[in-house]
Amino acid sequence: MAEQPTATIAPEGVPTSAPRTGDAAGTYEPWRIVLGELDERMGVRVLEQSVERVVATMPVAGNRQSLGLLHGGAMLALGEAVGSWAALIHASTRGMVCVGVDANATHHRSVREGMVTAVATPIRLGGTITSHEVVISDEDGNRLSTFRITNLLRPAK
C-alpha cells in the first residue's frame, strides 16, 4: 500500500501552508490531504490531489447497509471528504482555510461489491466561495452518486 501524504497541522488543528521562499506575491504551497478517522475506518485511499482534481477510492466491503448495498451515508461521507479536500487545497494556495456552507447529493444507483471512485472537480474556484462536483462511480464507470459541495474561504489564523 502506498503511504498517504501528510500536512502540517497547527496546534489549533488548522492546516498550515508555508509561503514559498522569496515569493513577494504571497503564493502558498498547496495543503496535502490527511485522512480523518472516519476516512480511515471506511478504507478511503487518495489517488490524486491538486487544485483541479482530487480522486479517492473506497471499498464497498465494510460500507454496506442492511440490504447488502453500499450505504448511501457512506457515499455522502466520501463525497463530503473529497469535495472538502479539493476546496481546502484551493484555499491553501491563497493562505486560507475553508468551511462548508452547503452539501447535497443525488444517488443514481448502488452497488453490492467492489471499489468505488470519487472524483472532485471545481465548478467555481472563487476568492470567497468555492464549489465542487464530486462524481462517485463503480468499477465499470457507472455513476452512482453526484455530490455538490460549497465552501466559504476564510483567513487562516
The residues carrying an active-site annotation are: 80
Which 3-state string (H, E, C) describes the chain? CCCCCCCEECCCCCEECCECCCCCCCCECCCCCCCCHHHHHHCCEEEEECCCCEEEEEECCCCECCCCCECHHHHHHHHHHHHHHHHHHHHHCCCEEEEEEEEEEEECCCCCCCEEEEEEEEEEECCCEEEEEEEEECCCCCEEEEEEEEEEEEECC
Which among 17, 3, 19 has a CA at the least distance from the CA of 98? 17
Structural contact between residues 119 and 134, judged by C-beta atoms closer than 8 angstroms: yes
